[in-house]
Amino acid sequence: MKNKILAPSLLSADFSQLAQALKQIELNNGGAVHIDVMDGSFVPEITYGQPVVRSIRPLTSLPFDVHLMVEHPETQVDSFIQAGADWITFHHEACVHSHRLIQYIQSKGKKAGVAIVPSTPVSAIAEILEYADIILVMTVNPGWGGQVLIPSCVKKIAELNKLREERGYKYLISVDGGINPTTISSVIDAGVDVIVSGSAFFSGELKL
Ligand code: DX5
Ligand code: ZN
């Protein structure tokens, strides 16, 4: 699909074969590698952190799209940048000083993203929309791959698209959770730019 960026999520890859997973992403039109970082507190499970990012960094030149599902993301940003992150998305729900963190990430020459969970409306981040490089709309509750997309979240993509047009904002709209061959058309119609896919991509179901 023209002008859309596919960002496959390593969460659904075989963790013993990450080099192979990166090859698969490159060979199947991946435009970025989505890396889900979970801390066992903001979300129940723990995935991987900076050492893993650092060790796979030399294996691809694709941008690393790091999705921080962690409390106190501001304490993690520097070390993820050092490890090789290109885009850093943190959760609005985990950060009081979102505006400051966006500016800090951008001052390091990286793209700054803000994610919202299904229960957070777009209006909650209205004051930072003009500053962000990416708004990530979660269409499942964060924490696990392979869940079913929550249809009511899709309208947030359309709302962000409309606001961007009306006000000249620059952010990319990213969607994460439950994207598969059946649900993808709804998010494309709503105006998404970046499509994150874990289970459907690594099962070979979803191609772009
Ligand atoms: C969920 C993660 C997602 C996950 C998506 O908390 O943020 O990136 O990998 O997986 P699928 O595409 O299987 O819903
Ligand atoms: Zn994610």
Pocket (CB within 6 angstroms of ligand 1) = 9, 11-12, 34, 36, 67, 140, 142-147, 176-179, 196-200
77-92 mean pLDDT: 98
Q: Is it the case that residue 185 has pLDDT exceeding 80?
A: yes
SS3 61: coil
Q: Indicate whether this model's pTM tops 0.95.
A: yes
pLDDT value, residue 7: 98
In the predicted structure, residue 40 carries a pLDDT above the cut 90? yes
State which ligand 1 atom lies nearest to the alpha carbon of 198. Answer: 12
For 42-81, the pLDDT digits (tens) are: 999 999 999 999 999 999 999 999 999 999 999 999 999 9
Strands 5-8 and 194-197: parallel
Task: Tell me the average pLDDT of the chain.
Answer: 97
Check residue 1 and give its pLDDT.
67
Query: In this prediction, what percent of the chain has a pLDDT beyond 90?
Result: 98
Residue 88 and residue 66 in contact, taking contact as beta carbons nearer than 8 Å = yes
Please report which confidence band the pLDDT of residue 207 belongs to, taking 50, 70 and 90 as the band edges: confident
Q: How crowded is the C-beta side of 175, counted as CA atoms within 13 Å?
A: 29
Distance from the alpha carbon of residue 197 to the mean position of ligand 1, in angstroms: 6
10 closest CA partner among 80, 59, 65, 88? 65
- Selected catalytic residue, list 36, 39, 133, 193: 36
Ligand 1 atom nearest to 177, measured from its CA? 14
What pLDDT band is residue 192 in, cutting at 50, 70 and 90? Answer: very high
Q: Sort 191 into a burial class: Cβ within 10 Å, 0-12 / 13-18 / 19+.
A: middle
Q: Give the Å distance between the CA of 119 and the centre of ligand 1.
A: 17
147-178 pLDDT, tens digit per residue, is 999 999 999 999 999 999 999 999 999 999 99
| Mutation test residue for ligand 1: of 10, 36, 153, the one with most atoms within 8 Å of CB | 36
